[in-house]
Structure 1
Amino acid sequence: MPDITERILLDIIKYPLITDKTTKLLEENQYCFAVERKANKLDIKKAVEYLFNVKVKSVNTSHPPEKKRTVGKFIGKKPHYKKAVVTLNSEDRINLFPDN
């Protein structure tokens, strides 16, 4: 397996998902991210460890279903994404809400 370059690692993680459910998961040291659709669990683990300098315990991924949206008479779909729930070791933390 070829080694993943730094540029590819930066492109795997798109943005953190902040919802009511994911903020409850922060208490269990789990973080949710929207990731590249073709990324596998090993790539996601390497990317999170590289970006945030933490040790990842496990990675769970899912493809939420596409949702339809209607604007007037036009019907479309919301953009599709892949969701990754990353569990960290007990001594590591990611600061998603930095103080201003």
Structure 2
Amino acid sequence: MNQEKILKILLAPIVSEKTTMLSAHNQYAFKVRVDCSKREIKAAVEMLFSVNVENVTTSIVKGKKKIFKGRIGSRPNWKKAMVKVSEGQMIDVSRT
């Protein structure tokens, strides 16, 4: 996998109260491209953050329906990846 594709897989870390609590258990959440696989996500996290990934869990988050000036629209669907790293390793999401 080339470097350019790896840099485009991870879009942003998900920082919330729930994901902050999960970081104590070596789990981190990222917003990723919808068309990428678990293997690609694992390779991207390992290369960008220099950690060993144990497990990757993904889910598709459906976009909300919105009404603006009487017209019905929807926000786009997006993919969430929960990444578990090896014991003793951590990812500093404040730097990303």
**TM-score, normalised relative to structure 1:** 0.88
Q: Give, in whole Å, the separation in 1 of the partners of 2:67 and 2:15.
A: 24
Identify, as 1 or 2, the structure richer in strand.
2
What SS does structure 2 have at the residue aligned with 1:94? coil
Counterpart AA for 1:93: M
State which of 68, 88, 93 in structure 2 corresponds to 1:91: 88
The unaligned stretches of length 5 or more in structure 1 are none
Structure 1 residue 59 corresponds to structure 2 residue 56: yes
User: Displacement, 1:78?
Assistant: 1.4
Instruction: Provide the aligned C-alpha RMSD in A.
Output: 1.2
Q: Give, in whole Å, the separation in 1 of the partners of 2:8 and 2:49.
A: 14
Structure 1 residue 6 corresponds to structure 2 residue 20: no
Residues 38-61 of structure 1: CA distance to partner in whole angstroms, max 9, x if unpaired?
Answer: 111110000000111111010000
Q: Give, in whole Å, the separation in 1 of the partners of 2:73 and 2:58.
A: 25
The unaligned stretches of length 5 or more in structure 2 are none
Counterpart AA for 1:36: R
State which of 31, 34, 37 in structure 2 corresponds to 1:34: 31
Aligned-residue identity in percent: 37
What SS does structure 1 have at the residue aligned with 2:11? strand
What SS does structure 1 have at the residue aligned with 2:61? coil
Q: Runs of 4 or more off by more than 4 Å in structure 1?
A: none
Residues 5-52 of structure 1: CA distance to partner in whole angstroms, max 9, x if unpaired?
Answer: 010010010001112221121111100001111111110000000111
